[in-house]
A and B are shown apart, each in its own frame.
Chain A
């Protein structure tokens, strides 16, 4: 529950920081930090237009998308604080809950019968499929290093295992950031600012959502960033620290995460769509490299 609370707080500032950083870097005045959420609250108050092609799938999809994210966040432990749900293979449930949300998000887009949204749905399905192994290899590495199967004990043990965990930790953070970028359809896979529907992924899938439903999706997307932010914080924050340091570091990490996304997006061009699968598979190879490294350390094949 605390994770959910922190995620909501994080999600509240996250998109604003990204937008703010991007505007500062590009020399614009830019909107305030709370502008993205002002837009969401505006949407929540608006009416909706539904396409005549759509069915109940289109109406239930945003609800399920948000519900899976909330449940997924509730599973997350915080550094030194249990989620109350910790159990073996909870990270599998986490990944599959996100996949469930994505499943409905995709069929929700297909429900409109629009070829543009079909295109976006297709890309989303392909990219998340390709990114899936990276997440599991990452947790395989962590499970191997710590010998535990629940996120709570994995993250607790991870810090105790000393300096070898530094390398794995860095790889883990890198992979998680990249997965977060892919899952949230950010650069370099997708450009949230693009105006051409043909090249969009996330934005094109929600073309027909309006009002309350669109707000739900946007809340969900912000929460998704917070979810990955919490995972990263779990890897980076030492459990042994005093609680107020941990809280400070937690928000510091979230802010740094958001700023790094803003900076990355400002200086990075999006990839050609055909190159995206290659890029995403590379991520799995990096994760695999981390795994093999841990294997070498574990069995002391080198050193």
Chain B
């Protein structure tokens, strides 16, 4: 039996190399086949675990250099495995149509490498989720960074892409270093380097310090502010299916890591929860605020990932606080909302990135200011993007609302029954979440309205045709899931709550029953709403059939020579908020004011450039480091005698330090 399992696991890894030699025509299908294999092999045990049929850890004995490697699937990894598999598969399905136009433009080896990296990104993410020992985990973590780096580099001939990708790789390694330090601290104390050994470490050491180290390491991957600066650069640079997978699931590996470490933390959980809650609320509000002012559609979506990571983090912080104050209901609501939002975000964010990719393919620009009226040529893509938008704003009857309402419930139920400070913190959480919701609506009415509605703003970037069926199919899959979760939340929430109660060893709170009732009610009202819309639309249709319907131009308030350039643009839409949020946005405006003498003003240019204060801060830090390093460069004289002198000085230093028993 073990042999069979081992073969099943090793097979996709071996087969992924076959991609490199498959002829170009069959490459996608080979990748799809292997990917399906991976999905099948990992999903079956994951589903088994989630529905309570415990799977024994799979032991891979053949990697002798590191001893045997254990692949373990528990509830938490099983949940993330299913999330990863779904989005990785839809991403691959989407990629075929999306990459078609590039077929003649890029070398076949580039495609081989792309699909190979894609499979390895998928494999390494699954590895991250199943490996518990320090070294194998870190290897998988590193493979994930490298394979996604390769994926971003698909359009490597663009200089900006190259720069972004390198920036990404460097930041991922800073995260890796933090994780390595974390594991080393654990090993120095317990003699073992694994997640399970953390439990021993945490049982007799202060918890906050090491947890924060891991948190920082994972937060760089997840994109919490202020660790997010790679994210809004890397996602737009990658091809859309890769952005979808990176934003939909790869950054969630950071969330997985945080939750995984949290399961071992023994004390200080209230403090830790508060820290996570605060960082998350800030990430949520600032992420969406910065999203609003973006001109690049994919960059806007990337900033929204930060916002959603914030919402997920709020749930997790709440859950951690619940663990700290021994309130099982809060644990279930917090982690339940957070983890469900992981699933939800992976669905609507990949959907949004895919449909944004279709717009890019059709209009050849991601610049919101140049788009417009796309809905007339791409009605289905517009509908899908709208579905994603409504879901990401957390509006009923779609899935985003379900996870947000769970977090709201957690915050509201935490209001009373604790201390004054707890009440105040919960209220701040509620305010943040309400503000995030409002800002998200502001942002997506802008994104959807400016890109899809109105008339095209530029003559060169007019949508030509609807995306191919091949590209629409995976989007319908994601859209269907979004609706399913929104209308029947309990299908997903019941297994999830079971999983959380097992993972954190808490009983199901009696009040949980009323929560599930409320959620099924929300689902029912969602159905009612859809029914109501259908009914009213039907009545409207019947009545309008009997009426005189005329077509005409948009009412220009008496002005009849309106043109597309006079429409409200994305910048003008965002300007009202940009004014309010200038301290964090630092939007740079370039304009020449009209002088009084100008009676007939000539042509004017106006441009706004959104900036990211954290990016600026990071740049300043890097500049400072570069300054020091430049000064250090004087040591590098190129003279061999000097280098021997350095070595000599070093040896003497070591000798003295040893003599003085410092090292």
Contact = CB atoms under 8 A, between A and B. Distances in A.
Interface string B539-575: 0100110011111111111000010101110001100
B557 A49 contact: no
Interface string B397-428: 00001001100110011011100100110110
B434 interface: yes
B374 to A, nearest CB: 10
Contact of B567 (A74, A113, A130): A113
Contacts of B382: 55, 57
A258 interface: no
Consensus secondary structure, chain A interface? helix
Contacts of B564: 113
Contacts of A277: 576, 580
Contacts of A49: 549-552
B439 interface: yes
26 contacts: A48-B549, A51-B551, A51-B554, A53-B554, A55-B382, A57-B386, A87-B514, A88-B518, A89-B408, A90-B518, A103-B441, A111-B449, A111-B453, A112-B454, A114-B562, A118-B449, A118-B568, A125-B441, A126-B577, A128-B441, A132-B434, A136-B434, A137-B431, A212-B547, A291-B427, A301-B420
Contacts of A129: 435, 438-439, 441-442
B533 A63 contact: yes
A149 B557 contact: no
A261 interface: no
Interface string A60-90: 1001101110110011000000000101111
Contacts of A117: 568
Interface stretch (B189-197, B520-528, B589-597): B520-528
B549 A299 contact: no
A193 B373 CA distance: 32
Interface string A32-52: 000000000000101111111
A214 interface: no
A89 B532 CA distance: 22
Given A55-B379, A56-B379, A93-B522, A103 B390 contact: yes
B455 interface: yes
B396 A93 contact: yes
B350 to A, nearest CB: 21
Contacts of A55: 375-376, 379, 382, 453
B532 A67 contact: yes
Contacts, number: 249
B2 to A, nearest CB: 47
B539 to A, nearest CB: 9
Interface in A119-142: 119, 121-123, 125-126, 128-133, 135-137, 139-140
Given A55-B382, A60-B537, 20 more contacts: A50-B550, A63-B533, A67-B529, A92-B404, A96-B396, A96-B401, A114-B554, A114-B562, A118-B572, A121-B568, A125-B445, A136-B434, A140-B415, A143-B416, A149-B412, A212-B543, A277-B580, A284-B431, A291-B427, A298-B423
B517 interface: yes
A93 B413 CA distance: 16
A106 B449 contact: yes
Interface in B65-110: none
Given A67-B536, A137-B431, A112 B554 contact: yes
Contacts of A102: 441
Interface string A90-115: 10110111011011001100111111
Interface in B447-503: 448-450, 452-455
A210 to B, nearest CB: 9
A106 to B, nearest CB: 4
Contact of A46 (B379, B547, B580): B547
A212 B549 CA distance: 11
Nearest to B431: A133
Most buried by B among A102, A110, A111: A110
B441 A89 contact: no
Contacts of B393: 99, 103
Nearest to B574: A122
Interface in A4-20: none
A116 interface: yes
Given A63-B537, A96-B394, A137 B379 contact: no
Given A52-B551, A99-B393, A93 B434 contact: no
Given A93-B405, A115-B568, A133-B431, A110 B549 contact: no
Contact of A126 (B379, B532, B576): B576
Contacts of B328: none
Nearest to B580: A277
B564 to A, nearest CB: 7
A182 interface: no
Contacts of B446: 125
Contact of B375 (A57, A66, A114, A119): A57
Given A55-B376, A67-B529, A299 B420 contact: yes
Given A64-B533, A96-B395, A110-B450, A211 B515 contact: no
B455 A53 contact: yes
A88 B515 contact: yes
Contacts of B342: none
A167 interface: no
Closest 4 CB pairs of A and B: A118-B568, A129-B438, A110-B449, A113-B454
Given A100-B390, A119-B568, A87 B518 contact: yes
A114 B453 CA distance: 10
A115 B567 contact: yes
B437 interface: yes
Nearest to B567: A113
Contacts of B452: 57
Contacts of B176: none
Contacts of B550: 47-50
B430 interface: yes
A299 B438 CA distance: 31
A295 B422 CA distance: 11
Contacts of B442: 125-126, 129
Contacts of B532: 67, 70-71
Contacts of A89: 405, 408-409, 412, 518
Interface in A137-166: 137, 139-140, 143-144, 147, 149-150
B454 A295 contact: no
Given A100-B396, A113-B453, A67 B431 contact: no
B47 to A, nearest CB: 30
Most buried by B among A111, A115, A135: A115
Contacts of A64: 533
A137 B405 contact: no
A85 B523 CA distance: 12
B416 A298 contact: yes
Nearest to B515: A88
B521 A85 contact: yes
A30 to B, nearest CB: 27
A119 to B, nearest CB: 6
A144 to B, nearest CB: 5
B412 A140 contact: yes
A265 B409 CA distance: 37
B373 A53 contact: yes
Interface in B313-361: none
A207 interface: yes
B430 A137 contact: yes
Most buried by A among B376, B401, B437, B555: B555
Contacts of B528: 71, 74
Nearest to A106: B445
Contacts of A54: 554
A216 interface: yes
Contacts of A139: 412
Contact of A110 (B396, B415, B454): B454
Contacts of B415: 140, 143-144
A68 B409 CA distance: 22
A46 B394 CA distance: 36
B298 to A, nearest CB: 20
